[in-house]
Amino acid sequence: MKNTIGMIFSESVENSDLRDLLQNRSIGTLPFGSRYRLMDFTLSNMVNSGIKKIGVIASSKYTSVIDHLGTGKDWLLSRKTGDLQILKGSESARIGESIKINVKDLIDNRQFLERTTGDTVLISGSNLITTYDFNEPYEVYNKNNADIVMIYRKDEARFHSLPTDIYLELDGLTVTDIKRYSQGDVSDNKFVDMMLIKKSVLLEMLDAAEVRGEWDLIDVIEQNIGRLKILAALHTGYINRVTNIERYYVGNMDLLDYKVLKELFMQEDRPIYTKVKDNHPTHYGDNAKVRDSILGSGAVIDGEMEKSVAFREVKVGEGSKISNSILMQKCIIGKNVTLDHVIFDKECVIRDNATLIGTYKEPIILSKGTTI
């Protein structure tokens, strides 16, 4: 896939219940799984598939993207040589409706597409938790001389997130129709926000979209069904698209399932890269009890944790009991604290003897730096 250009877009989730966790960051830099960010999966999958030229479209909260990606070296890329570029993100939106792939983002970064060597573009969301080899859909694309290959999976009831989710009608490999979930009577072939497209075809679509005032690349593709050769490739294995608190919570808790953990992180030829930080190992006190949990480095645990995810440098005091919870970096939990079904952003502080109990459907969420 050396002749393929990667483009990672940031899905608009401004109306989502994730907003408390996205005050100072884009969806792609949302912390996940004790040490990662969501975009690490897509970026790593592209690198592992042999793609060496990648552009990351940042939202208006681009500072978090720049801070996380740095020079790109942790992903075996370099911003200095242009292997990795952070691109301008548009703030335009269609009122009352979510945009799947913002055409304006692509138009604003047309120069990146035109100047970067490659005849194929791989477009993917930044909020997809999966380990995936893009060479599989590329084989479908290349073998059949397709204009576009849309990646899909057989739908699962729990995967529904938005009324704008896209479903494909298929005749064999050929896409014959595209529908949004809100339209009803959809197939079970759910588009998972990843596609391969000929660069020449994409540039032609951008020209047409600009003239017609189209906002969503999916709408432009739908208008070209029948004229272009649009195929589909099946995604198998684990995937989770984070668009709301439930999907974020489930994604973290899924890591407590060894099969999911193994698929995502224990494939020698498909590592998930992230920003490296040198920390000492987690310290467990004499009274610490940790079961079915994942902890980042540098944590200090003197209490009990069960079915929870804790990030780097989290501290849990003596007598405290944490269950079914997510604690981001540098959270400090005092003594004799009880937490159940909570999600804390970075640097939250809970003083001694506090009790916070949420539910699976409505976890308690604290924004960055909150003290209770």
Mean pLDDT of 316-338: 98
Q: Are residues 244 and 329 in the same domain?
A: no
More confident residue, 33 or 1: 33
Rg of the chain over CA atoms, in angstroms?
21
The answer, yes or no, to whether residue 49 has pLDDT greater than 90, is yes
Tens of pLDDT, residues 66-87:
999 999 999 999 887 779 999 9
> Mean pLDDT, to the nearest integer, of 27-41?
96
Predicted confidence (pLDDT) per residue in 349-370, tens digit: 999 999 999 999 899 999 999 9
> Could you tell me if 261 and 292 lie in one domain?
no
pLDDT of residue 213: 84
Same-domain pairing of 213 and 128? yes
Q: How much of the chain exceeds pLDDT 90, in percent? A: 78
Q: What is the pLDDT averaged over residues 168-176?
A: 96
pLDDT for the residue 106? 94
**So what's the pLDDT on residue 158?**
55
Q: Looking at the structure, tell me whether residues 98 and 131 fall in a common domain.
A: yes
Same domain, 43 and 119: yes
CATH code at position 310:
2.160.10.10
- Is residue 66 a part of any domain in this protein? yes
Query: Residue 95 falls within a domain, yes or no?
Result: yes
Q: For residue 135, what is the domain's CATH number?
A: 3.90.550.10
Give the C-alpha separation, 361 to 31, whole Å: 20
**Partners of 112 in the β-ladder:** none
* Residue 278 placed within a domain: no
Q: Residue 203: which of 217, 191, 219 has the closest Cα?
A: 217
pLDDT greater than 60 at residue 101: yes
256 shares its domain with 332 = no
Both 141 and 26 in one domain: the answer is yes
pLDDT at 159 (0 to 100): 59
Q: What does the block give as tokens for 38?
A: 């969501």
Tens-place pLDDT, residues 200-240: 999 999 999 988 888 899 999 999 999 999 999 999 999 99
Residue 274 domain flag: no
What is the CA 218 to chain-centroid distance, rounded? 19
> Span 334-349, mean pLDDT?
98
pTM of the model: 0.94
pLDDT given for residue 91 in this prediction: 58
Q: Are residues 223 and 124 in the same domain?
A: yes
One domain, residues 206 and 64? yes
Answer yes or no: is 271 within a domain. Answer: no
Q: So what's the pLDDT on residue 275?
A: 93
User: Helix (H, G, I), strand (E, B), or coil: what is residue 351?
Assistant: coil
In this structure, is residue 229 part of a structural domain?
yes
Handedness of CA 20, 24, 27, 29 (dihedral sign): negative
Q: What percent of the chain has pLDDT over 70?
A: 95
Positions of E strands within 112-226? 120-125, 128-129, 148-154, 166-171, 174-180, 189-198
Domain end call among 265, 292, 316:
265
Same domain, 52 and 116: yes
Residue 273 inside a domain? The answer is no
Instruction: Among 214, 232, 265, give the residue marking a domain's end.
Output: 265
Digit-coded pLDDT (tens) for 237-263: 999 999 899 999 999 999 999 999 999
- Give dist(CA 119, CA 82) in Å, integer: 17
Among the residue ranges 37-51, 98-112, 327-341, the one predicted with the least confidence is 98-112
Domain count, the chain: 2
Same domain, 240 and 347: no
pLDDT digits (tens, 9 = 90+) for 261-314: 999 999 888 999 999 888 899 999 999 999 999 999 999 999 999 999 999 999
Q: Is 251 exposed, middle or buried (0-12, 13-18, 19+ CB in 10 A)?
A: buried
Q: Is 276 part of a structural domain of the chain? A: no
- Domain final residue, candidates 265, 296, 331: 265
Note whether 291 and 246 are same-domain residues. no
- Residue span of the structural domain in which 257 resides: 4-265
